[in-house]
C-alpha cells in the first residue's frame, strides 16, 4: 500500500527521492503515539541536537496526522520525512486519498460561494473553520500548521482537488490545476538554519534543601 501511495507523488519528486527518509501509513489515531516515538528517534539522528525542533513533533506531526484521521474519510494515507539536504533543509509530506478539502468545505458550507478550489483551501486555513463540531476539538489543525510554519520561515503547499495553495515567507499564492487531484497533499519545507537553539532551564535555584533543621 505504501508504495502505491508513493507513486502518486512522482509528479512532485522522482522515485529515487522517496527511497530514503522516513515514511509510514496513517491508519488510525490510535497509532499516533507510536508513530511520534518513531519520528522522534528519526529526527534525533539527523538534526543537530542543540536545535529546537520540538514543534515538528508536538505540533506539525500530530495536527496533520489527526486531521487526516478525522476529516479525510479514508484509511489510505501516509507521511514522509526527508533526510536533511545539503542546504540543511527538511521536507515533510502528508498525503491522503480522501474526498479533498474543497469538496468537504463546499458540502459543509453550502450557503457560502467560492470562486474555485484554491479559495476553499484558503478558507479552511482560517482559524476556527471546521467541518466538525468544535466541541470535539477538531478542525483547528490547518490554521495551527500555517501559523507554525510561518513563524519558522518555512514553506507550505496544499494540493487538493483542483486547488493549489502556497505560502512562502508568509506570501500566499492561489492557483488551479487542470486535472483533479483526488484527496489532499500537504508539502512543507523547513529550513533548519532558521531553528533556534534549545533553551536549557536551570532549576537549581528553585530547589532549596535545608539541612540545618533538626527534629
Domains with residue ranges and CATH for the chain: 21-193 (3.30.565.10)
110 CB-side CA count, 13 A: 1
Q: In what helix (H) or strand (E) does residue 78 lie, and over which residues does it extend? A: strand 77-81
Whole-prediction pTM value? Answer: 0.85
Using a 10 angstrom Cβ sphere, with 0-12 exposed, 13-18 middle and 19 or more buried, the burial of residue 182 is: middle
Question: Could you tell me where the beta strands, DSSP code E, fall in 104-212?
Answer: 155-168, 171-191
As a whole number, the mean pLDDT across the chain is 85
| Cell numbers 527511497: residue | 19
pLDDT in tens, 26-35: 988 899 999 9
pLDDT in tens, 155-210: 999 999 999 999 987 788 999 999 999 999 999 999 998 888 887 655 555 555 56
In this structure, the strands spanning 89-96 and 22-25 are unpaired
Amino acid at each position: 500500500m505504501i508504495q502505491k501511495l508513493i507513486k502518486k507523488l512522482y509528479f512532485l519528486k522522482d522515485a529515487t527521492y522517496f527511497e530514503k527518509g522516513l515514511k509510514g501509513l496513517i491508519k488510525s489515531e490510535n497509532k499516533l503515539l507510536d508513530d511520534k516515538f518513531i519520528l522522534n528517534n528519526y529526527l534525533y539522528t539527523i538534526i543537530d541536537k542543540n536545535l529546537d525542533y520540538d514543534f515538528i513533533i508536538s505540533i506539525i506531526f500530530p495536527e496533520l496526522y489527526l486531521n487526516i484521521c478525522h476529516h479525510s474519510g479514508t484509511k489510505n494515507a501516509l507521511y514522509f520525512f526527508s533526510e536533511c539536504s545539503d542546504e540543511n533543509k527538511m521536507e515533510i509530506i502528508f498525503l491522503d486519498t480522501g474526498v479533498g478539502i474543497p469538496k468537504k468545505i463546499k458540502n459543509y458550507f453550502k450557503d457560502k460561494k467560492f470562486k474555485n478550489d484554491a479559495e476553499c483551501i484558503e478558507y479552511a486555513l482560517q482559524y476556527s473553520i471546521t467541518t466538525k463540531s468544535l466541541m470535539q476539538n477538531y478542525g483547528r489543525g490547518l490554521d495551527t500548521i500555517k501559523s507554525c510554519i510561518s513563524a519558522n520561515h518555512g514553506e507550505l503547499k496544499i494540493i487538493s482537488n483542483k486547488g493549489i495553495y502556497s505560502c512562502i515567507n508568509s506570501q500566499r499564492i492561489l492557483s488551479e490545476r487542470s486535472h483533479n487531484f483526488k484527496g489532499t497533499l500537504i508539502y512543507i519545507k523547513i529550513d533548519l538554519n532558521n531553528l533556534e537553539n534549545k533553551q536549557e532551564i536551570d532549576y537549581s535555584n528553585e530547589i532549596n534543601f535545608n539541612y540545618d533543621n533538626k527534629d
